[in-house]
Amino acid sequence: SAVISQKPSRDICQRGTSLTIQCQVDSQVTMMFWYRQQPGQSLTLIATANQGSEATYESGFVIDKFPISRPNLTFSTLTVSNMSPEDSSIYLCSALAGGPIYEQYFGPGTRLTVT
């Protein structure tokens, strides 16, 4: 199993600024992911955080807007850049635990409000 923590848990930011969200896993994991979830909606995958290389982004998400770092097997950051009110959402980090059951472990999320 894996326990995931995120910082900050919530934040209120002004338009045009950037926020970096940290994700810490209590054990080494092969894969980490970042999701976005609007209140009352399902989760949307933003990107796969690759250790030692550039993240793999899903359609509709770009590196300039959501730069991601993963310096080691237990830590990743997501930056939401040049924020607008449309970026207000919950951002979740997850990690994939390997076999025999490949389950994702999720962090508690970061609730971001952009004013």
Partner 1 sequence: LAKTTQPISMDSYEGQEVNITCSHNNIATNDYITWYQQFPSQGPRFIIQGYKTKVTNEVASLFIPADRKSSTLSLPRVSLSDTAVYYCLVGDRGGTGRRALTFGSGTRLQVQP
- For residue 62, the 8-state DSSP code is -
Cα separation, 111 vs 100, whole angstroms: 32
Phi/psi class of residue 64: alpha, beta or left (left: φ > 0; alpha: ψ in -120 to 50)? alpha
Q: How far is the CB of 49 from partner 1 (least distance, A)?
A: 12
Tell which positions 96-115 bind partner 1, by CB under 8 A: 96, 101-109
Structural contact between residues 109 and 21, judged by C-beta atoms closer than 8 angstroms: no
Q: How far is the CB of 86 from partner 1 (least distance, A)?
A: 20
Task: Decide if residue 54 touches partner 1 (CB under 8 A).
Answer: no
Q: How far is the CB of 43 from partner 1 (least distance, A)?
A: 4
Tell which positions 63-102 bind partner 1, by CB under 8 A: 92, 94, 96, 101-102
- CB-wise, 3 or 17, nearer to partner 1? 3
DSSP E strand stretches across the chain: 4-7, 10-13, 19-25, 31-37, 43-49, 56-57, 68-72, 75-80, 89-96, 104-106, 110-114
The residue within the footprint of partner 1, chosen from 45, 57, 73, 79 (CB under 8 A), is 45
Binding site for partner 1 (CB under 8 A): 4, 31, 33, 35, 42-45, 48, 58, 92, 94, 96, 101-109
